[in-house]
Amino acid sequence: MTASRFLHEGRAYALLAAAGLRVPRHGFLESGPLPFAPGEPIVLKGIADEMWHKSDKGAVAFAPFDAAALGAEAEAMKARIPEHPWIGGLVCEKVAFQRLPGLPTEALVSLKRDPEAGWLVICGIGGLQADAWAALAPPLLWPVALATPEDALAELKAHWLGRTWLGLQRGTKPLTDEAKLRTFLQGLWRAVEALSREGVTLLELNPVVLDADGLPTALDGVGTLEAEAPSAPAAPDPAWYHALVAPRDLVIAGVSSREGTVGRIILENVRRSRLEAGAIRLIKPGSAEFLGLPCLGSVADLAAAPTDQLIVSLPAAQTLALVEQLCQQGGGATVVYVVAGGLGDGADTEGLGKRLVACLEAHRRAGKWTPALVGPNGLGLYSPDLDLNTLFIPDEKLPLRPRPGHAALVSQSGAFLITRLSRRPELGLRAAVAIGNQMDLRCSDFLRGFGGDPAVKVVGAYLEGFAPGDLQATAETAAKLRATGRRVLLYKGGRSQAGMAAASSHTGALAGDAALQASVLRRSGAMLAERIEAFDAALSWLGAYATGTPRRVAVVTNAGFESVASADLLTGPFRGASLTEAESVRLAALIEAHGLTGLVSPRLPLDLTPMADEAAYLASTRLLLETEADAVVVGLVPLTRRLGTADPGAFGPFAQALRALADASGKWVGAAVEGGAIYDAYRQGLREAGVPVFLTMEEALEGLRVIASEG
């Protein structure tokens, strides 16, 4: 007989009580003497396997305590539910709990082990109208690994339920106090530890009420059990990271004699790198040399002459055979980058992906040597320190020139990666990697790799789906990065049903529950962009300035519309900076010194009008950086003769002076250049000086808004 996966109320009470939580006095009729006096008001509940809603089945009765009468009633309940195997008659004290007319005072609490996010505590309004109240006051969600009971208390106090319980609603009195709620939440966190040990996957408490002393008390509890939690994947050898982004040598399998093929394009790009002479080899059966490079006859030859990185541009079946051979021979490549699709996605009709995963997992769990694998369906990577480009995009389409910096970019979509590299050539990078379908190395592994690299201060990531269980690992790794002062910026695609379907067809991984993912990721301290344009803008700011979180922003522009628009946009997690009376006097004097009196008002946002030249801009920016402003956005509408936009000899020093002001103040300075393509050189001059540049004031401020929302 299969063991039941149902967690009944009696067992739930025992687990809660062991965690120090208040539950009703209770006992089963079948277990002997019960802790009730004759005539005491009680509730009799018929407990049966897989019966979640006892009252719907006529298995709840209110009566005075009388053992004989209750025994008869329990037998009647048992007869009413023949489809549910009987467990016993549970007798509980009838808890007198507090109510308020017209306001919800009952809670629904769920302790859930989510396969993606780990243990969650969910708390919302319970009772018969729970669904209606949830639309007005959505439940609170706390990932146990990322939130503390103190965090939960702070959020509960601001929620409708907490405000009602604490008497913070207009015209109400307190039903409990913060100390009792803190103790209750701490008990829930302890209960999660016990539930995990017992193999519980879900425990729903509905309702949770406040007794006469204000103690939260569960009046019911049911859930599910699982015999064994899924095991986490075995960790790859951390040496994969440097073998990927800074290899000493690499080997390419799948280079064709035909030009324009994937393997040939990869080779052409790799040969431009600064790898040492002789560091590039090919696997080419029957050839000792090809295109002037030494060749290996097969992957078996790597056992005696291993490589840091093996790039595999072969069909899916050959790729699987190659990886299986590497594992069988116990060496050959620290990291394998798989270009081809057809492994574990919609095109894999033969189960090749499952065989590949099983091979890697079996070897790791047995403690045998195992390569780390990136992909499949990977477009490649770019590592500026070595000028190493393994992307299969021709140089004439994507000319990458090394610009080392403190940012790292990972993308599940290769197309997203290369369009970012094309649009933001000024971005200083440690590495940019297309991670493909995350069959082995996952998003969390890449974040962990970047976290161990002192050169990386900012990580930007585009994701369409998480590998199984990797949402929790990604969030926990992001939290560790934040704890060391690093920044994590994410864009999560596949949030709608249509987006989920598109992500599935593209990567083979569903997007999952978007609201849950967003909640978990934000709690990790990651910045979550809602639009790709916002991601790009935030990445530009962070690529220029690794530290700081501007929340007070000053705008100086030469266009009235930018001044008005920025005033509308400076709301929410940040605001427009303010001037003191003395600073306003200084600004008025500056305006007069530059011949702008009568044209410009000494207030923020500062509209210098088209009569302002570079000197007026620099003087204004310097002054604003001496105020409370954390950042200054310089709006440069270039269609005025007062600004030198055509001659690099004129705008180059201006751009360098803006960046120097930022560096000297320790604050952020960016520029919005709202003009056509003829001003691209002007924009590029600003970028080359290290000033982040945006096409519109709105774009610049939207990027700052994402950063200001950082947890």
Q: What is the CATH number of the domain that holds 407?
A: 3.40.50.261
Same domain, 319 and 429: no
Same domain, 133 and 55: no
What would the two tokens of residue 377 be?
């369906």
Residue 500 pLDDT: 38
CATH of the domain at 189: 3.30.470.20
Burial class (CB in 10 A: 0-12, 13-18, 19+), 52: middle
For residues 700 and 705, what is the distance between their CA atoms, to the nearest angstrom? 9
Residue 2 pLDDT: 56
Confidence at 156, pLDDT banded by 50, 70, 90:
very high
Q: What is the pLDDT of residues 303-335, one digit of tens each?
A: 999 999 999 999 999 999 999 999 999 999 999
CATH of the domain at 87: 3.30.1490
Handedness of CA 629, 631, 635, 641 (dihedral sign): positive
Same domain, 72 and 156: no
Q: What is the pLDDT of residues 343-372, one digit of tens each?
A: 988 889 999 999 999 999 999 999 999 999
Give yes or no for residue 398 having a pLDDT over 60: yes
Domain tally for the chain?
5
Q: Is residue 320 part of a domain?
A: yes
Same domain, 249 and 366: yes
For residues 361 and 355, what is the distance between their CA atoms, to the nearest angstrom? 10
Give the mean model confidence (pLDDT) for residues 604-614: 97
Same domain, 34 and 135: no
For residues 234 and 702, what is the distance between their CA atoms, to the nearest angstrom? 40
Residue 235 pLDDT: 87
Residue 498 pLDDT: 43
Is the entire prediction scored with pTM above 0.75?
Answer: yes
Confidence at 494, pLDDT banded by 50, 70, 90:
low
Mean pLDDT score of the chain: 93
Confidence at 231, pLDDT banded by 50, 70, 90:
low
Same domain, 189 and 168: yes
Residue 505 pLDDT: 35
- 190-199, 226-235, 365-374, range with the lowest pLDDT: 226-235
Q: How far is CA 416 from CA 152, 446, 532, in A?
A: 36, 17, 10
130 secondary structure, DSSP code = H
Among the candidates 177, 197, 225, a domain finishes at 225
Of 693, 651, 685, the closest CA to residue 669 belongs to: 693
Same domain, 501 and 577: no
Q: Is residue 383 part of a domain?
A: no
Residue 499 pLDDT: 43
Q: Is residue 610 part of a domain?
A: yes
Residue 504 pLDDT: 36
In 130-249, the DSSP E strands lie at 140-143, 200-210, 216-218, 222-225
Handedness of CA 310, 314, 320, 322 (dihedral sign): negative
Task: Tokens 């489809």: give the residue.
Answer: 83
Residue-level length of the chain: 711
Residue 89 pLDDT: 97
Q: Is residue 393 part of a domain?
A: no
Percent of the chain with pLDDT over 90: 88
Q: What is the pLDDT of residues 6-61, one digit of tens each?
A: 999 999 999 999 999 999 999 999 988 999 999 999 999 999 999 999 999 999 99
Same domain, 201 and 302: no
Q: Is residue 17 part of a domain?
A: no
Say whether 33 sits in a helix, a strand or coil: coil
Same domain, 591 and 676: yes
In 144-279, the DSSP E strands lie at 200-210, 216-218, 222-225, 250-253
Same domain, 632 and 600: yes
- Bridge partners of 633, per DSSP, are 555, 670
Residue 501 pLDDT: 38
Q: Is residue 41 part of a domain?
A: yes
Confidence at 468, pLDDT banded by 50, 70, 90:
confident
Q: Is residue 11 part of a domain?
A: no
**Amino acid at position 697, single letter:** M
Task: Tokens 């015209």: give the residue.
Answer: 171
Residue 136 pLDDT: 84
Q: Which residues are within 8 A (CB) of 146 and not within 5 positions of it... i.e. 6 or more apart?
A: 475, 476, 479, 520, 523, 524
Q: What is the pLDDT of residues 544-568, one digit of tens each?
A: 999 999 999 999 999 999 999 999 9
Confidence at 4, pLDDT banded by 50, 70, 90:
confident
Residue 684 pLDDT: 95
In 126-215, the DSSP E strands lie at 140-143, 200-210
Residue 502 pLDDT: 39
Among the candidates 328, 359, 377, a domain finishes at 377
Give the mean model confidence (pLDDT) for residues 142-147: 95
Give the mean model confidence (pLDDT) for residues 673-688: 96
Among the candidates 377, 411, 434, a domain finishes at 377
Q: Which residues are within 8 A (CB) of 203 and not within 5 positions of it... i.e. 6 or more apart?
A: 7, 12, 15, 110, 111, 112, 191, 195, 221, 222, 223
Q: What is the pLDDT of residues 106-139, one digit of tens each?
A: 999 999 999 889 999 999 999 777 777 888 899 9
Same domain, 559 and 703: yes
Same domain, 342 and 243: yes
Percent of the chain with pLDDT over 70: 96
Give yes or no for residue 1 having a pLDDT over 60: no
Q: Is residue 4 part of a domain?
A: no
Q: Which residues are within 8 A (CB) of 31 and not within 5 positions of it... i.e. 6 or more apart?
A: 88
Residue-range definition of the domain harbouring residue 160: 107-225
Confidence at 420, pLDDT banded by 50, 70, 90:
very high
Residues 538-577: b if buried by 16+ CB within 10 A, e if exposed: bbbbbbbbbeebbbbbbbbbbbeebbebbeebbeeebebb
For residues 268 and 245, what is the distance between their CA atoms, to the nearest angstrom? 18
Give the mean model confidence (pLDDT) for residues 167-181: 95
Of 352, 372, 347, 346, the closest CA to residue 361 belongs to: 372
Give the mean model confidence (pLDDT) for residues 606-635: 98
